[in-house]
Amino acid sequence: MRGTTSGRVRPLSSRSNLKPSRPRAVTGSGDNGQIVVTWSRSSNSGTAQITEYKAQSFPGGHSCVAVRALKCAISGLEDQKTYSVVVRAKGRYGWSLPSTPVRVFVMAAPTAPVNVNAIPRDGAAQISWSVPSNGGSPITKYLVVDPQGQSCTSSKATTCIVDGLTNGDNYYFTVRATNRFGVSAPSGASNEVTPNAGPSISGPVQVSAVSSTSAVISWSGVNGYGSPVSSYTVSGVPQCTFVSSTSCRATGLSPMGQYSVCVRAQSVVNLGPPACSLSFQELPINSGSQLNFGGQLGVNNGLFSPNNQFFAVLQTDGNLVVYQYESNGRPVVHWSLGAHSTATLLKMQTDGNLVLYTSSLVALWSSSTDPSSHDYLIMQSDGNLVIYSSVGLPLWSELGRTGYSGSTLPSGWTIRPGQALYSSNGNFLATLQSSDGNFVVYQTNGPATWSSNRGGGAVVIMQSDGNLVEYSASQAALWSSGTNGTSNDTLIMQTDGNLVVYAGCGPALWSSQGGPTGASCGGGSSGNTGQTITNEATKWINQVPYCWDGGDVSGPTHGSGSTTQSAEGAVNCLNAGTVGFDCTGLTLFAVYQALGISLPHDGSQAAFALSHGGQLISSEANLQVGDLVFFGGTFNSFDHSGIYVGNNTIVDANVSYSVGGGATRPDGVHEEPLNWQLPFVGAVRM
């Protein structure tokens, strides 16, 4: 071709120089399955305009194309994976070389939280979880929800508390995590929890084994609402040492102190509400059951009955109080003397008077018991606080009534205003009234049945000359029974309501229901009386068997046929159709036949005989024929009785027993040695 060069064709080998240069400044941002790629225009676009750009990721070869823009997005990628991205430019003569590769991580929303756990609280729940994968971007928030819509959020911590829940209802929870790329799927459900006010103690808090300084506290019915109880808190006492998982011994308590104990259970979750005992009172310091003459009780010291059902204590308010235990073990007031705020000492004086003193020994109250020696105060198992004389006569008692003097007034003894004699069955009393000085017999809680009809009486005396006399304060005689002329007379308030003066030798001389009887002792001697008693007993030797409860004032009887006594070797006389005596049956028969005095058929026989003109014989060396002898137990409650017949020998009604060497003493009425088996506890000479 001629005349021109414009039509020449450039050699192909030189066309590569006309391709675009590779794109510059390539960057990529990956999230949610795609990478957005940006770049700068090629520095040399060749001789022709660039028609497109292509960005491509590896591995996988996913790509995107941009015609005019300097940006495109590669999609279809995997989250949380790193890709190598290049960009190429296309011009008229082909594609440029790939750009310098850039590494891009495809970020995403977090994964769902795991290990979601719920712990119950009071009206709430505490939720915790483990950190999930953050998808390549920091987690900015967690959201906890329950199906009812209650929720809580946390920005960084992996725990939060959902409030506004109802105690006793059940709840479970899910958690979502959020970052700048989105919100995770919900976690799996947590464990189900029941919000509660803390572990509860539904059983009662019990108090037992109460002493003067300690008590045992116990409880039951503990509900931890799914959370194990880790410990207990005990309040209201100085200290409590655990003796089991649900009991402790409180110590350091004060005698007669008032306490109320509360127990709270602690779980790993929270501290439960308190469960409290009823208030309880510590016991006084135990000083036994008896206060002997010369003895004393200080504040918060007490006497306890042998059966531990009653105790008497001098309280800090100066009140002498008798408490009785209820069925629930709580002591309640049975009787009280009345508060004497400055009293600090109760003393059983050697003169027989029980006195309440101040710390400076000023007397505030006394029992006004007659001067005697070796008297003692005892807290009995029947709830009666009694002063007894040395020979067992009751001189004073609380028993809910002031001035108790027993049922018997021996010779030389007195009744003062407010004091009274009570029949042994409690149905009648004879009292010198404090209000008007009249000596009156009453049916208990009922009308008067007799009175001296005298006012101004200051004392009633069973005189040593046998006359019962009411005197004024000026020692003027106001009334008398007119029974002078005998000795060792006794006044008795009987169970039939009759107030009777008995002669020392036995007969009734005067009664409230009949006046003077005209009876006398007939000039008999004590020696003759003793022999007569002996004769009445010995005539039954080897004649009758031993019968439990056998014998009365007329002679031998069938008795009760007690199987218990039969097992000891006695004949069951009731079943066998035979008659006989037991020990007190024989003695009461002999005394009645000799003196006309009817003794009781039980262990009170000794005290009754003593109060009916008898003389106490305390030594075996002083025994005389006809003396009533008593063995075992105590004088006021002996185990066996007989009649002394001389030469260290007694006659008695007894069961059979071994006497050694293969020999056996048969049952029935026999003579036997004074020191037969049981110890001698006293005798009475009628």
Question: In whole angstroms, what separates CA 48 from the centre of its chain?
Answer: 108
What's the angle, vertex CA 207, arms to CA 205 and CA 209, rounded to 5?
150
What's the pLDDT score for residue 566? 39
Nearest residue to 350 (alpha-carbon basis) of 299, 301, 405, 292: 292
Cα–Cα distance between 554 and 320 in angstroms, integer? 48
CB atoms within 10 A of CB 351: 13
Q: Which residues, listed in sequence order, are joined to residue 345 by a DSSP beta bridge?
A: 298, 357
Q: What is the pLDDT of residues 423-443, one digit of tens each?
A: 767 788 899 888 899 999 999
Say if residue 505's pLDDT is above 70. no
Cα-Cα-Cα-Cα dihedral sign, residues 271, 275, 276, 277: negative
Distance CA 107, CA 298 (A): 88
Please name the helix (run of DSSP H) or strand (run of DSSP E) that holds residue 526, with its range, or none.
helix 526-538
Q: What class has domain 284-392? A: mainly beta
CA angle 264, 170, 151 (to 5 degrees): 100
The residue written with tokens 């503990």 in the block is 222
Residue 562: predicted pLDDT: 57
**Helix-helix angle 583-595:526-538, to 10 degrees:** 130
pLDDT on residue 15: 55
Q: Which three-class secondary structure state does DSSP give residue 490?
A: strand
Q: 12 in helix, strand or coil?
A: helix
How many Å apart are CA 642 and CA 651, to the nearest integer? 6
CA–CA distance, 468 with 490 (Å, rounded to integer): 9
Domain(s) of CATH 2.90.10.10: residues in the chain: 284-392, 405-521
322 closest CA partner among 348, 294, 289, 280: 289
- For residue 356, the number of C-alpha atoms closer than 13 Å in the C-beta half-sphere is 22
| Average pLDDT value for residue range 591-620 | 84
Taking only the tens place, the pLDDT of each residue in 305-329 is 998 899 999 999 999 999 998 877 7
pLDDT at 370: 58
Domain with CATH 2.60.40.10 in the chain: 20-107, 114-183, 200-281
Angle made by CA atoms 561, 566, 567, in degrees to the nearest 5? 145
Q: How far apart are CA 40 and CA 347, in angstroms?
A: 117
- Compute the average pLDDT of residues 101-128: 92
Cα 432 to Cα 411: distance, rounded to the nearest angstrom: 17
Amino acid letter, residue 347: K
Summarised one tens digit per residue, pLDDT across range 168-180 is: 899 999 999 999 8
Average pLDDT along the chain: 84
pLDDT band at 126 (very low <50, low <70, confident <90, very high): very high
Give, for 429, the enclosing helix (H) or strand (E). strand 428-432
- Report the top-level CATH class of 526-685: alpha beta
Say whether domain 20-107 belongs to CATH 3.40.50.1000.
no
Helices vs. strands in the chain: H and E counts, helices first: 5, 60
The predicted model gives 530-544 an average pLDDT of 87
pLDDT the model gives residue 51: 87
Query: What CATH number labels 200-281?
Result: 2.60.40.10
Q: Is the pLDDT at 520 greater than 80, yes or no?
A: no
Per-residue pLDDT at 405: 54
Question: Are the C-beta atoms of 611 and 501 separated by less than 8 Å?
Answer: no
| Phi, psi at 321, each rounded to 5° | -125, 140
> Per-residue confidence at 400, pLDDT binned at 50, 70, 90?
very low
CA angle 337/342/343 to nearest 5° reads 50
Beta carbons of 495 and 424 less than 8 angstroms apart: yes
Q: Give the model confidence (pLDDT) of 245-295 as tens digits.
A: 899 999 999 888 889 999 999 887 778 889 998 888 888 888 899 999 889
The second-level CATH assignment, the architecture, of 405-521 is Orthogonal Prism (2.90)
Neighbours of 67 (CB within 10 A): 10
What values do phi and psi take at 236, rounded to 5? 105, -10
* Residue 77 DSSP label: P
CA distances in angstroms from 258 to 138, 277, 381, listed in the order given: 63, 12, 25
Q: Cα angle vertex 356, ends 355, 361, to 5°? A: 95
Q: Taking the CB of residue 650, how many other CB atoms lie within 10 A of it?
A: 26
Domain with CATH 3.90.1720.10 in the chain: 526-685
**Tens of pLDDT, residues 186-238:** 999 999 988 887 888 888 899 888 888 999 999 988 887 777 888 999 999 99
> Would you identify the CATH topology of the domain 114-183?
Immunoglobulin-like (2.60.40)
Based on the number of CB atoms within 10 Å of its own CB, is 365 exposed (0-12), middle (13-18) or buried (19 or more)?
middle
Instruction: Pick the closest to residue 452 from 434, 461, 439 (CA basis).
Output: 439
